[in-house]
Amino acid sequence: MIHTYNLLYIIVVAVIVLNLQGCKHDLQSDISTQGNLIFHLHTMVDTNAVFKYDSVYIMSGHRKISLSLAQMYISDIQLVKKDGSVYNMSGTILLKTLENEVYQVGNAPNGDYKAIRFSVGLDPFENLKTSFVKSDSLYNKPLMWFGETAQTQGYVFLNIIGKIDTTTNGVGTLAGMKPFSYKIGSNANYKQVVMNSVSFTIQPGQSQYVHFMIDYNMLFMGIQLNNPNNLTINSIADNTTTLAKNICNNIPFMFMLDSN
């Protein structure tokens, strides 16, 4: 005969086991509804893949260009499913540099996706931050500041420095290439990019790569390069000019899907 105390003990243990099994099932359920999204971002100038700073590349029309710095913030990443629903990758901010091509975006729900939206830069809230949790913080990057220290609304969203052939027909010499420097920033220049027809599937517990090409040559569309005043944007004040607005409007054209 089972004593009342022993019977109570058995019941308590049984309830605990069932609860643990229930928790385990829930955890497995959470894992089984998500996969990992990774961006593979290739730095390009025209059809040339850029692997090394200060190398000279020849673009269409024979115009020469070299990059000594090319990096940008990417934030506000949104994934659009085939049914039109949108999943926000909240809190994900990437600092794309030439040195790194692979970036962890984070976990996303399983399913078929048809588009990706994101913005180049930091949103107005993030652009206010001036303190860093640790020394390697995404915000503790002097190359991405307009001043010597981090300032409110003072982050550079896109920083590109290099040299380019500024002759009208793009037939100048290597020695004749002129330096350029574009630091795009300020809340007004926080630019959204919409990548449609990006077909990919997130599968449970698996990593899915999406490959983009970032063509820095596209920033020069419509820019009169033989005008020396069109080669420099280095301050927040410079970002209010027509030149800055034109370059900012070119940003969405930089991004192309890499089908390889």
Q: What residues pair up with 71 in beta bridges, in sequence order?
A: 159
Residue 1's pLDDT is what? 45
Q: Which residues are within 8 A (CB) of 115 and not within 5 positions of it... i.e. 6 or more apart?
A: 79, 80, 194, 195, 196, 197, 198
Q: What is the pTM of this model?
A: 0.86
Question: What's the average model confidence in pLDDT over 194-211?
Answer: 95
Local structure of 18: helix, strand or coil: helix
pLDDT attached to residue 260:
61
Q: In this predicted structure, which of 116-120, 135-139, 219-223 has the lowest mean pLDDT?
A: 135-139
Tell me how far apart the terminal alpha carbons of the chain are, to the nearest angstrom: 72
Segment 31-84, tens digit of pLDDT:
578 999 999 999 999 999 999 999 999 998 899 999 999 999 999 999 999 999
Residue 7 has pLDDT above 50, yes or no: no
Q: Which neighbouring-strand residues pair with 57?
A: 65
CA 121, CA 65: separation in Å to the nearest integer?
A: 24
Closest CA to 183 of 132, 237, 139, 136: 237
Helix and strand numbers (H, E) in the chain are 2, 14
For 61, which DSSP code?
Answer: G
Per-residue pLDDT of 152-171, as tens digits, reads 778 999 999 999 999 988 89
What does the mean pLDDT of the chain come to? 88
- CA 153 – CA 225 distance, rounded (Å): 29
